[in-house]
Amino acid sequence: MSFSFKGHTVVVTGAGGGLGKTYSLLFASRGANVVVNDFNGAAAQKVVDQIVQAGGKAVVNTSSVTDGNAVIKSALDAFSGVTILINNAGILRDKGFKNMTDQEWDQITEVHLKGAFACTKAAWPIFRKQKFGRIINTASAAGLYGNFGQANYSAAKMGLIGFTKTLAFEGSKYNIKSVAIAPMAASAMTETVMPPEMLANLKPEFVAPFVAAVCHPDGPDASGRIFEVGAGFIAEVRWEQSKGAVFKTDATFTPSAVKAKWSEITDFSQPKYLKSIADIDMKKTREAALKAPSNPQSSPEVRFDGKTVIVTGAGAGLGRVYALMYSKLGANVVVNDVSEKGAKSVVDEIVKAGGKATTAVCSAEDGETIVKAALDNFGGVHVLVANAGILRDKSFTAMSEQEWDIVLAVHLRGTYKCAKAVWPVFQKQKYGRILTTCSPTGVYGNFGQANYAAAKAGITGLTRTLAIEGQKYNILANVIAPTAGTAMTETVWPEEMLKAFTPAHIAPLVGYLTSADNDDVSGCLFELSGGWVAQTRWQRSGGYGFPTVKPYTPEDVVEKWKEITTFDERATHPSSTSEALQQIVENFENKGDQVKAKL
């Protein structure tokens, strides 16, 4: 078996150097036509010259990746088609969160996320029509685990995971496969942040053959999956969900009840591995919640006396329920919403019950305005619950650029702006709690929600980095993925099941995670619905390490696919970039004795 790419046209973005250049040379050497995209025309031309001199076919494209139509047009003009798209272009703008500018945030999301959207969007109708397409999206360990000084980059890179998973669902009936990779490779980007001896081992040549293998028509089916690749080591990463705890959904379901059962929520002794939202058995958990006895409470009660809490999108739904809960437990509440009527009605409800609250009527992107309302009215802020969101669901084929932009702006940029505004206050007082909102769509992907999946997954990446940067200031940050009842479920659930599921059943976890009682849980993701609460974390397969004396081939990847993707006793649970890198670094010494990667 030898993989030829004759007759294929591959578009590689950011291909003037590093990984992109290596992809271009490898695909061309195996017969593909290559579009070498890079904003640096001279660098791209050098790569094209090298390909042409070796007898291959390639053209330069210098368009910005945000102009996806122009990038894909080069392939159509030169080679009359496109079959493979490798979204590789990237930039870094590393900065501690406190000092990060909006421009540095926007530039990163623009190139990494919007660029991948724009190029994929332009290729998608062609892929659909020919019933073949391969898309590689480039995530990173920083996206999976968070990384100090990379809040912008972590958000964008994790966003690409949600995007990839959704594309996999939408492309399945058209033979369009989308794969996410988190590569560790030397490039102009990583040169600034890694020591030379490490870079010497992290050659791009040890990443490219994997990408070629999963892009070939006869290659293994990796669609919707995530792989960490570097220095000859390849492993798959997937979500692992704890069995979780079930709570009776009555007045005893409180933050104190959540605290009392915390060890049960985070117990991974009976894990589950979900592949889609359809795998979430809401009916079963609801029935268990209905039958459960009243919930034991921790003592003393989890309370918020003297604390000021900001809740965004609090004029209705989940946000409203959060606001009422915090007030009941003694907090001052800032009720943010774009709807003045909604925000005012919630404040009135709180005041009538004897609580203290004020409105902040503006977009969640006006973080400074919201924080100013907290400081002006209550003299401080201690908790941020970033809950605001909108939906613009459309199949990827029909999704407009505006529908992509607005969902990313409200969810991801709104969360960033609010976190940014509270950060200096939290740092100074050495106390802060941040709770952000993902969704099962951001975890597993979902048909018709490419924009929402990218935004929600991006929030997870951002939150993990906030947890890392906040650690020494006692700023804890966590993210939840709540499942809500929908108009759809109303037609299939009996009345008592619907009653067993309201936003009130999400609030207790939010309360506990944002309380002073929680003094160590940070950077974690929780899934919950109708009285069931579980933690979700990464699991990495034992993987396979190829010898580092010479690059492995795409054919070698196929041969070792089972070892790469088997989750057995060798599986690990990396929770940081350094843990993730450890196994890759261990493979530096693999000189060809063909041992399996050690734990």
Parallel, antiparallel or unpaired: strands 226-230 and 233-241: antiparallel
State the catalytic residue, choosing from 322, 416, 452, 512. 452
Decide which of 253 and 201 is more confident: 253
**Interacting residues of 565 by C-beta distance below 8 A, sequence separation 6+:** 236, 541
Half-sphere exposure of 172 (CA within 13 A, CB side): 12
Look at residue 247 in the predicted model and tell me its pLDDT: 96
pLDDT digits (tens, 9 = 90+) for 322-370: 999 999 999 999 999 999 999 999 999 999 999 999 999 999 999 999 9
Instruction: Read off the pTM.
Output: 0.95
Contacts of 393 (CB under 8 A, 6+ apart): 448, 449, 452
Instruction: Provide CB contacts within 8 A for 78, sequence distance 6+.
Output: 33, 35, 59
Check residue 486 and give its pLDDT. 40
Mean pLDDT of the chain: 94
Does residue 488 surpass a pLDDT of 50? no
Q: What is the mean pLDDT of residues 377-398?
A: 94
Kindly name the residue from 23, 145, 153, 512 that is annotated as catalytic: 153
Does position 490 have pLDDT exceeding 60, yes or no?
no
Kindly report, residue by residue over 542-577, the tens digit of the pLDDT. Answer: 999 999 999 999 999 999 999 999 999 999 999 999
Q: Are 473 and 426 in contact (CB under 8 A)?
A: yes
CB 311 within 8 A of CB 323: yes
Each domain of the chain, given as residue ranges in start order, spans 9-195+212-230
CA distance 64 to 577: 29
Annotated catalytic residue, options 21, 121, 157, 165:
157
Q: Is 153 one of the annotated active-site residues of the chain?
A: yes
Flag whether pLDDT at 594 surpasses 60: no
Q: With beta carbons less than 8 A apart as the criterion, state whether 123 and 85 touch.
A: yes
Q: Are 132 and 139 contacting, i.e. CB atoms less than 8 angstroms apart?
A: no
Q: Which CATH class is domain 9-195+212-230?
A: alpha beta
Q: What is the CA radius of gyration of the chain?
A: 24
Which of 3-7, 144-148, 488-492, 512-516 comes out lowest in average pLDDT? 488-492
Is residue 207 within 8 A of residue 22, CB to CB? The reply is yes
Q: pLDDT tier at 390 (50, 70, 90 boundaries)?
A: confident
How confident is the model at residue 498, as a pLDDT?
61
**Beta strand ranges found along 100-200 (DSSP E):** 133-138, 176-183
Q: Which region, left, alpha or beta, applies to residue 508 given φ > 0 means left and ψ of -120 to 50 means alpha?
A: alpha
pLDDT reported for residue 191:
64
544 is catalytic: no
Strands (E), 298-381: 308-311, 332-337, 356-361
Q: Report in angstroms the alpha-carbon separations of 297 from 256, 260, 267, 300, 515.
A: 5, 6, 19, 9, 15
Q: Is 261 assigned a catalytic role?
A: no
Average confidence (pLDDT) over 207-228: 98
> Do 509 and 525 contact (CB within 8 A), yes or no?
no
